Structure 1
Amino acid sequence: MKSQRPITSDDEHRVLQFRPRTTPSPVVHRGSAVVQKLRAAAPEPRDLSGYERPREAPDDFRHRMLANVAALAFTIALTAIGIWLAVSIADLRRTQDCVLMGRRDCVRITTPHI
């Protein structure tokens, strides 16, 4: 198989000069390059107090902790069910493989202790 390269010419390759929409600082031209002067200090950050909303109700710590405990209990129960399901599926698969091999002693028989 022959590798084919696209035919390129110099007309296809062009370097475009980046021009910002607004010029934040004075521009100094040196030769063919454009150099911007560094600013003395960064501007002060804007105050975010205009975006704050007053709380409609006080924070109910007890309710939040009960919700967290309920979520933790649900997560633990879901994890335990998932582990039980994985173990039972693995046991069922082991038994099924044993039966498909033609063996007769595949099922565990438990006897009560007297």
Structure 2
Amino acid sequence: MIQGGAAELAALRGILQRHRSALLDGRVEDRLAGNKKVHFTVCRAARDTILLKQIENPWLRSGPDTRFLSEKRRDMLRADVTLSYARSHGHIVAALEARDGAAARAAMMNDIGAMGDGMATFLSAV
């Protein structure tokens, strides 16, 4: 169990590095894939298939809109302020490593809220 958890955290660290690189390089497809991998790796680690399905369903429904808006926001997503998405993923992993459930929850909520706020800001300016 401990080695399995360590492997999941090591995988998350690799995903985080690729996700940040995709953000900086403006590779929208890779950024979206990295974001999804972070969230679904965390969900799978919870080992709750019902929870995973509840998260997977809205994620799949919002995918086309998220892809379209991410393409339109490519330059904005490269900005340092937007790298907070990548930083919040790092905070999630750090909290999981520390076995701090409350901090992991707060970091996950911050990540999801920041993405929603960013999209709302973008859409209100269009």
Q: Calculate the TM-score normalised by the size of structure 1.
A: 0.23
Higher RCO (CA < 8 A, seq sep 6+): 2
Q: Which has the higher helix share?
A: 2
